[in-house]
Amino acid sequence: MQQKTALVVGASGVVGRELVKGLCAHPDYAKVIIWLRRPLAFEHPKLQQQIIDFEHIAEQPHIAVDEVFCALGTTIKQAGNRAQFLKVDVEYPTAVAAWAKHAGATALFLVSAPHANPDSRIFYLRAKGQAEQQIRALDYPKLAIFHPPLIIGERRDKRPAEKTMAALFKYLPKNWFKAYQPMSGAEIAAAIIAAAEKQPLGVHIYRLQAAGAEK
């Protein structure tokens, strides 16, 4: 099988960092390109880091890409306001997906959120649903959308509420709230890469759980 080129966005996040490491280590990929605002402290012979302006994604020069892995995401606190949040969580992923499809990508793997819905009354879930909706409209031959539970791992930004929730889950029986048990960035990335190995045609949603992925 011919080796592939992957494009990763959101590589500085908890899941994105692990995706980059996993894809670089995977024999199916000859090249892993990452788009960032700042360099990532990770090096690998397969890795190409490109510092870009996400405000002008459509102007990026053409490069051949087979698959896209999108783990872009922020918080309103980190973004500063709702408008900036929507840029990072909706506009940028959609623009990347459109650019990559024009560049020849046939598969896209999107990290979203459980209960994402463009009509949700909850702003965060509405934004995630809008991103899913807009990327679906691009008609990728293969589109996989992942709904992970609470994500645990080292972050640049402090999220005390997430740390508190993760700590509480440690004291619950493993058979309780299985769908909501926290997962590490490495576990989520591994599930995404495993799905990419055998991703069928069409749109598929994976509800990630600590024990694996459930369609």
CATH number, domain with residue 134 = 3.40.50.720
Q: Is residue 110 included in any domain, yes or no?
A: yes
Residue 94: its pLDDT value, please?
A: 98
Q: Can you list the alpha helix ranges (DSSP code H) found in 55-184?
A: 76-79, 82-86, 92-102, 123-136, 160-169
Asked if residue 187 belongs to a domain, the reply is yes
176 pLDDT higher than 80:
no
Q: What is the mean pLDDT of residues 148-175?
A: 57
pLDDT at 159 over 80: no
Confirm if 38 and 51 have CB atoms less than 8 A apart: yes
In a domain, 118, yes or no: yes
**Can you give the pLDDT at residue 154?**
56
User: Is 213 a domain residue?
Assistant: no
Tens of pLDDT along 59-112?
A: 999 999 999 999 999 999 999 999 999 999 999 999 999 999 999 999 999 999
Domain housing 61:
4-207
Contacts with 97 (C-beta within 8 Å, 6 or more apart), sequence order: 68, 70, 108, 110, 135, 138, 140
Number of domains in the chain: 1
Would you say residue 212 lies in a domain? no
**Interstrand relation of 183-184 and 67-70 (parallel, antiparallel or unpaired):** unpaired
pLDDT for the residue numbered 164: 47
Are the C-beta atoms of residues 131 and 110 closer than 8 Å to each other? Answer: yes
Partners of 183 in beta bridges: 151
Whether the predicted pLDDT of 197 surpasses 80: yes
